[in-house]
Structure formats: structure tokens, C-alpha cells
Chain A
């Protein structure tokens, strides 16, 4: 027996002892859209590393848009032959079911619109993003960079990372994955908020505020996950549901865990009273990023809320529903009432988004098929309207940048009837006037809540809608019936990117208002899948 043979034998013996770990089954076709987005984000980082400065913008724009189109195509191809009950893959971590696919589709199209706004370089010469983020605000260098063409093109891979995080977030089937996804979607957003070309200080303040409060909320979320793990010995939604359905474990852990978890989620969805960051951040962030956050983050957050509440806490809904009623009411009231006295258009839309979050929560806690499909429809409708609305906001400018103070919008209809008309239509959609998607969205959500026995909540929601309609209409009145101030803002001619984004959002807002059936059918095509096998 030679040494070699001995070595071989012993090695063989060692190998024989090793029982191979079974790799989890992965349904690549199902998660392909997500893989495309995250992979392209990494490629985007490499572009940043290896492309010369002057080529980066065009390459990144092309890459990002192609990625979104490619992911959308992968989604459409997969939709044709995916099973009705959905697929749970990656060792039970992700469920690609009908709601997830709908949310992914929604995220991809909304991100497409937002990326178009991000990529525009003609409304604001050089783009809405700073060219040197590290320059100290208020200095001579800062003023120089404001005039310099070129931007931090990192915003494109950051967008894709955030989008990938959102996609994982609303498909994740266990709380730990959800937390990772939450961080993946949040961290790029914190950065993106601080990249405004103008009003650097405000932008950076927004970023820091968002970061601090986001970290705070993440801690809540994580603490909740920990308590729930303590309760159920698992972070899987299905396991928590099973534990809650039939055990005599400590309910303190369950409800404390649920409360903290939900707070983390509500923060992301900017539901009051966890909304405090929303106005400041919406105002300070570059408008395209605000559009992206307002549309896509809301979709992801409510996707997560729907999935968690349905998957893990359906059995205990009697206990928590009353509390979330209260939260929804607070959110609607805060959004509607505080929106009344806002003087900044972006802050106003931020409070409007708080009110809308309350409406969405009304649909989310119904936990019926109608509640699910209604909320999904609402998310899509609201997202498009919001992207288009922020697109319009970015057009109305003075020499110093965007004219966001409401007084500057007086008499806009006389200067630019088309822009004022489009914005009026979008505001009506936000107010929920018929022939817009906003009406259909509110209608389906409220009727689902009504059928589920939440009539008082629906009454409050309708009252809040009525109050909120006031501040939307006030802008309309301001645009049409006030005399324009002589040094008022000018309306930029939108570049083709912004124009496409606004047109897309407006047209879809209208189409969903008059012919909502096909989207409603799709949104109601199936329920969540939580199988843990």
C-alpha cells in the first residue's frame, strides 16, 4: 500500500462520510425577471467602474431601459404558462404567485416611467441629479456643479438595486428574506434622495432624515421578526400562521411581534402616524426620485403588507383588524387635513400619498379576494397617476429650478393650457373623480371593504376623500382662475423622455378609468401561495 493509495483511501473515507447537501430546487423561469433586474444592476456598477465619464449616461440609460423591457418580457413569457396556484421556489423563500406577478409587473412598468423621468436631461440641463455629490452645499464649487452638465449616473444601478429589492420584498415568503429585501430596497433610496442638483442642503437633509428614520423603522421590523421567531420558532409566514392557529404559546410575543413588524411595514408605505418622513423627503428628493419612491415603494410596501397579513396573521385578524382600522383612519385624516394647508406642491402630493396609503390600508385589511384585487388595482392606478404628476411638477420651473411653491402655479393655465389641463386631469384622478383610474380604484377598494363589513371605515374614507378633494381642486382653481404673477414660472418644453412618461401615466390613468376590466381581471386572477414544502 503506497502512501498515495493510503491518502486516496483516507480521502475517500472522508468523502464517503460527507452527505451532500441537497441544493434547493430553483424555478429559474419564475424568478427570471428578478434575476435580470439584479444582474443588470451589477452590470451597471461595472459600467460605472470601467466606462469613461462621457459615455456613462447613454450606456446606463440604455442598459436600464433594456433591463426593464427584458424583465417585463420575461414576466410576460412566464405568465403564459405559470400555474394558477403559483410557484414557491428557492427553498420556500420566494413565492411567485399571481399577486406577486401582478406586483412585479406593476413595479416594472412604474419603474419604467420613473426611469424615463430620471433619465431626462433636457428639462433641467444635465438632468435632475447632481454632478458631484461630494461637493459641500453652498460653496462656490457647489454653484459651479449646479451649472455643469453631467450627473452622477450611479443613480441608474441604484434604481435597479432598489427595484430588485422591491421585487424580492413583495414576493418573499419568510420574514428574514423580507428584511434583507427591505434593506436592499431602502439603502439605494436613501442615497438617491441626496442627489438633487438644486437645493443640495434640502436634498441631503432629506436623505439623512430618511436614512435615520428608515433605520429606526428597520429596527422595529427586525425586532418584530425576532419576537415572532421566538413565538413560532420560524420566520416563515406559513409556520407563523400555523403556530398562531393552534398553540398555547405566549400571545404576548405574537402580538408584540406583529405590532413591531407592521410598524416597520407601515413606515415604508408612509401610512400615518409613521408618515413623518414623507413630506420632508418627497420635498427634498430630486423629483424623479420622488416619483419613483411614491409609486414603487408604495407598491412594494403594500405588496408586503398584503402578503404578511394574509400569510401569517389571517387567523388572528379579529384581534389586529381593529387596530389597523385606527391606523387607517389616522392616516386618512392626517393626509387629508394636513394637505389642506400645504403651500408646496410636492409636500401636498406627499400628504395626498399619506391619505392614499390610508385608503390602500382599508383595502388591504379586508383580506378577501376582492380586497386583494382592489388594492392591487389601486396600487397600479395610483402609481401611474403619481409618476405623471411628478413629471408635470418637474416641468414647471423658474431660473432657480422647479417652482414648487403653490403661489407660483397661479394662472398656469394661461401660460400653458396643455400642462395645466394634464395636471388637472391627474389631480382629478388623485381626488377620485369618475372617468379616471382613481375613481375605479377607490370604488373597488371601498366596495371590498364594505362587503367585508367595514362600513364605518368606508364612511370615514369617503369623508376623507371629500376633504382631500378640496386641496386638489384648490390647485385647479389656482391654475385656472388666478392671475399669473408677472415673474411666474415658465413651463419647460418636456424632453422626449419626460413627455413619454407623462403621456404614459396620463393615458393609463384615463384608460383604467374607462376600461378597468382587464386589469381588474388580472389583479383578481389568483391568491397568494405560501406552501413551505
Chain B
């Protein structure tokens, strides 16, 4: 009789092995072309603060706003899909619920929009 936790343990082992292999093998077989970006903490292009005065040293707030708005509507989508699939079964109650949900997200959107969160210049 297989203990139900054995697959879990196997999963842990696999995960550990994968990350270890990735970290250990990449330097062995990959090309080594260093530049400044590669030595930064994050390789996604964000420069960690504090930085020299150049560029203000801070990530523009707009960056976070965009990210937040993206997540906001992403989550909304995540909820809308299952609703759409079972819309009939949920009936009127479900419709009202999802309308309220969209409304609350809409309030946040209205706030960002009215307060200039969508202005780029």
C-alpha cells in the first residue's frame, strides 16, 4: 500500500533536482558574456534603489499602476470565465452577483482614471 504522501515527496525531490540541475548546469554549458544588467539583483531591467540621482533613482509610479491595473482586470477575467460557463445554472442571482463584482472593479478603475492614473506624458 502506497502512502498517499509518497508522490508529494517525489514531487519535492523532482523540484529540488530540477532547480539544482538548472543552477548547476547552466554555467557549465552556457556562454559567458557578462554585462552590467546581468550582475544586477534582478535581470528584468529594474534597477534597485537607491541609485545615483540619474533618472530620479525611483521606479515611476506609473509602472506599479499599470501592473496593478493589469492584475485587477486579470483577476476579473479569471472570475468571468467560470461565470460565463455556468451562467445559465447560476440564473439571475449569479448575474446580479457578477454585475456587482464588475461594478466594484469598475469603481477602482474609475478612481484610477479620474485621478490621472492613465495619463502618460
Contact = CB atoms under 8 A, between A and B. Distances in A.
Nearest to B58: A136
A136 B49 CA distance: 13
A54 interface: no
Interface stretch (A18-26, A327-335, A423-431, A484-492): A18-26
Interface in B91-119: 91, 93-94, 103-104, 107-108, 110-111, 113-115
Contacts of B107: 42, 45-46, 49
B114 A50 contact: yes
A46 B113 CA distance: 11
Contacts of B11: none
A399 interface: no
B90 interface: yes
Nearest to A19: B89
Given A21-B86, A134-B61, A136-B58, A42 B111 contact: no
B61 A48 contact: no
B43 interface: no
B91 A21 contact: yes
Contacts of A46: 107, 110-111
B58 A18 contact: no
Contacts of B103: 42
A6 interface: no
A140 interface: no
B111 A49 contact: yes
A42 B93 CA distance: 21
A23 B91 contact: yes
A21 B61 CA distance: 43
Interface in A235-283: none
Contact of B88 (A18, A48, A136): A18
Nearest to B114: A49
Nearest to B109: A49
A164 B77 CA distance: 25
B26 to A, nearest CB: 29
A4 interface: no
Contacts of B88: 15, 18, 20
Interface in A337-393: none
Contacts of B89: 18-21
Contacts of A50: 110, 114
A23 B98 CA distance: 13
Interface string A55-73: 0000000000000000000
A43 to B, nearest CB: 8
Contacts of B104: 42
Instruction: Identify which of A45, A46, A49, A134 gathers the most chain B CB atoms within 10 Å of its CB.
Output: A49
Contacts of A45: 107-108, 110-111
Contacts of B90: 20-21, 23
Nearest to B8: A230
Interface string A1-33: 000000000000001001111010000000000
A46 to B, nearest CB: 6
A49 B58 contact: no
Contacts of A49: 107, 110-111, 113-115
Contacts of A20: 88-91
Nearest to B111: A49
Nearest to A136: B58
A238 B89 CA distance: 29
A23 B90 CA distance: 7
Nearest to B61: A134
A46 B105 CA distance: 11
A402 B94 CA distance: 51
Interface of A: 15, 18-21, 23, 42, 45-46, 48-50, 134, 136
Given A21-B94, A45-B110, A49-B107, 10 more contacts: A20-B89, A21-B86, A21-B90, A23-B93, A42-B107, A46-B111, A48-B114, A49-B111, A49-B113, A50-B110
12 contacts: A15-B88, A18-B88, A18-B89, A19-B89, A21-B94, A23-B93, A42-B103, A45-B110, A46-B107, A46-B110, A49-B110, A136-B58
